[in-house]
Amino acid sequence: MQFDLKRVAEFIRKAETEELLDRVTVYREGMEPAALDLMEGELDRRGVSRAEIADHDAKRRATAIMLPDGTAARCSCCSRPAVRHERRWYRVFGLLPVFPKVFAYCELHSRSSEPSANPNPPDAS
């Protein structure tokens, strides 16, 4: 797959600041260096300091479920970093429950408002 710098630049201009902060911090390991440069430049243009970026990184890493590759797990509903695993039914067409499955959720999509003390998924058995 080819890296389309124009498309990436267009996305970056439209992206919310929080999403850019997540991408240059907890998702950094999975990003293209050129895209990171564009994102950091956009954050500079928006007035976000390096100290604010470091603070965002520390806060996210304290609550997010970190994967072995160094990135944060993504929420099953959006692109925010996941803070907890929950067992819910996998549903066909969003209606028919088929089998239980472990999903990852951010603070917004989690059923519980408290982050999980143990960010590892429960046993599937």
> Tens digits of per-residue pLDDT, 43-102?
999 999 999 999 999 999 999 999 999 999 999 999 999 999 998 888 888 888 899 999
From the number of C-beta atoms within 10 Å of its C-beta (0-12, 13-18, 19+), residue 111 rates as exposed
Query: The tokens of 81 are what?
Result: 């970093």
Task: Please report the pLDDT score of residue 2 as a whole number.
Answer: 65
Query: The tokens of 12 are what?
Result: 């970056």
Nearest CA among 68, 71, 96, 101 for reference residue 85:
101
Task: Please report the pLDDT score of residue 110 as a whole number.
Answer: 82
Task: Please report the pLDDT score of residue 71 as a whole number.
Answer: 93
Q: Are residues 24 and 45 in the same domain?
A: yes
Mean pLDDT, residues 21-49 = 94
Per the structure, the complete domain to which residue 105 belongs is given by: 68-125
Examine the fold and report which residue of 23, 44, 63 is the final residue of a domain before the chain moves on: 63
Q: Are residues 59 and 82 in the same domain?
A: no
Q: Are residues 57 and 25 in the same domain?
A: yes
- Distances in Å between the alpha carbon of 93 and those of 21, 35, 78, 96? 33, 35, 18, 7
Report the number of distinct structural domains present in the chain.
Answer: 2
Task: Please report the pLDDT score of residue 125 as a whole number.
Answer: 34
pTM of the entire structure?
0.77
**DSSP-derived secondary structure letter, 73:** P
